[in-house]
Chains A and B, each alone.
Chain A
Amino acid sequence: MKILIIEDDLETAAYLTKAFREAGLTVDHASDGDSGYFLATENSYDVMVVDRMLPKRDGLSIISSLRDQGNETPVLILSALGQVDDRVTGLRAGGDDYLTKPYAFSELLARVEILGRRKGTRDTETVYRVGDLELDRLSHEVRRGGQVINLQPREYSLLEYLMNNAGQVVTRTMLLENVWDYHFDPQTNVIDVHISRLRSKIEKGFEGSLLHTIRGAGYILKASE
């Protein structure tokens, strides 16, 4: 996966570049709005990570210009502004995801990877399958090894999101945002509790674990080898 980072703080940029490369991504970096916009129009990227406040040209204007030209590369906005309205304006300008500084790198990586895979999205599939777990998006039925599992509506949405992003790390905030539509940090481990409930429903009495906890990052749903 090839990504472009537009970030004016050189130390942050160096750290991000190194960390993304270690995670196996190809990284280009621009340190101001103009050169960032130039790179974005010259090359083709899978994901762009754009700081909101940049010298010469601000992040939001880069994104709007790219979208106006029909460039649909997924963009993740990084910002020190974290209010509700800031996120809404960011997304309205054409951003696909919004992350407030300071953030954990694991959070950023998880989000970038999900954005990068979005091209091959599973949205068109009517049945999601992970190992012997099946989720029918039309009948809202969940089975494992042919046996029906009864889920609460929210548990169903949670599983649907996890299966849609199967094989990808999803963070707690991503779950909170996408399943509950909450954009704040609820402090306690609410998500962990919901995950462990879901886990017991889809794993108890079955062979092999599917829903794994990644320490310091989040969760991943995948069939064990």
Chain B
Amino acid sequence: MARLNAMLKTTAVRLSLLYLLLFVVSATVLLFYVSAQSEKALRGQTERAIERDVRTINNTYRRSGVNGLVRQIERRSRQPGSSLYIIASPNGEIFAGNVSEIQPGIFDQDGDIDEPFKYKRFGDFDAEYTALAHVMQLPNGFKLLVGRDLAEPDRFNSLIERALMTALAIMGIGALAIWFFVGRSALKRIDRMSVASEKIMAGDLSQRLPVMGSGDEFDRMSTSLNTMLGRIEQLNEGLRQVSDNIAHDLKTPLTRLRNRAEATLASKATAKDYRAALEDMISESDQLIRIFSALLMISRVEAGSAAAKLSDLDLSAVALDAAELYEPVAEDVDVKLITDIDENITINGNRELIGQTLSNLIDNAIKYASDENNPRDDASIWVRLKEQDKMIVLSVSDNGPGIPDDKFDEVTKRFVRLDKSRNKPGTGLGLSLVDAVIRMHSGKLELSATNATQKEFPGLTVDLKFPVKT
């Protein structure tokens, strides 16, 4: 029962039933129309035959009078066939002819009798026949009836009806069968699609909807859904990687934090040791908070929540401020900070985000240009701001060890740090944040080597390209 119910719910069955109903209605109309037409045609034929008879008999009557007429009627009555002939007395008694009994009232009419009437024949009193006829009034009050039996055309008519009905029934059954199979195959494909999507919903994003290769609507739908699934899988993969990284990058400092607390508790520490341990733990927590804030910030920038807060921004001033803020820091580690900043360059931007981005980059540049263990005389970083090729380019360069060409794409990913030992302080989120901020400003982040010919210290140049304000 449930199965039947489910079956009735399927589109294929519903459509089939609807088609069947439409078919029955139109077939019925067709049947009625054809049988009415054929009946009309046959009736016309009968009427014309009667007319011919009437004309002949009329001629005879005119030529040979009543006697000739009666003779002819008697002669004709003896011939086999479907014709009816009656001569009746004025009071309706049958006088001559081949009919034994007739529906009363027929002789009261004159001319063509349009409605079929009933009569009985000699020698066959039980059977009732129907006929059409023409009634003529003879001058002496006698009446002449010339008619044709309708059995023949009726049989023919019902033959046509039956043939038509059979043909329609065969067509109906055939169509129903075809609909059923077509519907079922469509249904099966939809079933296969739902099976595949259920697997996908269950978490197997590598599943794809079946494509038969016929290029039909189902294939087109499956193909575009598959493309969408591919994109989702890709995003999901990215997300999974990020959460793996988050797990790793947060677990490490959390573990260190816990170990530090545990070790301090276990040891026979003095108050001074406790204080030192607690201070360490606070700075470890600060690092964790920093990672969280950076992640939060990236996701909020990427969600575009700050996008509405873009306004006219004097990028020259922002660049100068940032350079000035970091100048003493660079000097402290013997790195020259060289600025080449064009004045009065404005963009549509957010001061806080651009400021933070630039601080990030300058901070990184100083970090990589300097090397405590291996100080160099010419360690330098550059902060430049120019308008070129209809783009505003803000760039931060260093002449540190740089990064390999093939890693340029990778470093903007979250938590990617090329320094696998992670000796230098940092969250691994700096460039991801920069990337997110630049994209929010409809700009582009481009990485290149500062001086590619230099083998040992090619350096890294980060270009932030903003569209010129319109």
Contacts and interface: CB of A to CB of B under 8 A. Distances in A.
A188 B329 contact: yes
Contacts of B106: none
Interface stretch (A7-15, A78-86, A159-167): A78-86
A204 to B, nearest CB: 16
A81 to B, nearest CB: 9
Interface residues of B, number: 29
A193 B329 contact: yes
A69 B1 CA distance: 73
Query: Could you tell me the dominant secondary structure of chain A's interface residues?
Result: loop
Given A84-B353, A185-B293, A216 B282 contact: yes
Contacts of A197: 328
Contact of B300 (A83, A154, A189, A216): A83
A82 B293 contact: yes
A contact residues, range = 20 to 34
Most buried by B among A183, A189, A193, A216: A193
A84 B332 contact: no
Given A102-B289, A154-B324, A187-B363, A84 B329 contact: no
Given A83-B305, A85-B305, A185-B290, A194 B363 contact: no
A84 B355 CA distance: 12
A85 B306 contact: yes
A180 interface: yes
A188 B363 CA distance: 7
A84 B306 CA distance: 8
Contacts of B169: none
Contact of B328 (A84, A104, A193): A193
Most buried by A among B297, B305, B325, B326: B325
Query: Could you tell me the dominant secondary structure of chain B's interface residues?
Result: helix
Contacts of B296: 82
Nearest to A179: B325
A85 B303 CA distance: 14
Contacts of A186: 325, 356, 359, 363
Contacts of A38: none
Nearest to A103: B289
Nearest to A155: B328
A184 interface: yes
A39 B184 CA distance: 74
Contacts of B456: none
A154 B328 CA distance: 12
Given A82-B296, A186-B363, A194 B353 contact: no
Nearest 4 CB-CB pairings of A with B: A193-B328, A84-B352, A184-B356, A186-B359
Given A84-B309, A194-B328, 18 more contacts: A82-B296, A82-B297, A83-B306, A84-B306, A154-B324, A180-B321, A182-B355, A184-B355, A184-B359, A185-B290, A186-B356, A186-B363, A188-B363, A189-B329, A190-B325, A190-B329, A193-B332, A194-B325
25 contacts: A82-B293, A82-B296, A83-B297, A83-B300, A84-B350, A85-B309, A102-B289, A154-B324, A180-B321, A182-B325, A182-B355, A182-B359, A184-B352, A184-B355, A184-B359, A186-B359, A186-B363, A188-B363, A188-B366, A189-B329, A190-B326, A190-B328, A190-B329, A193-B332, A194-B328
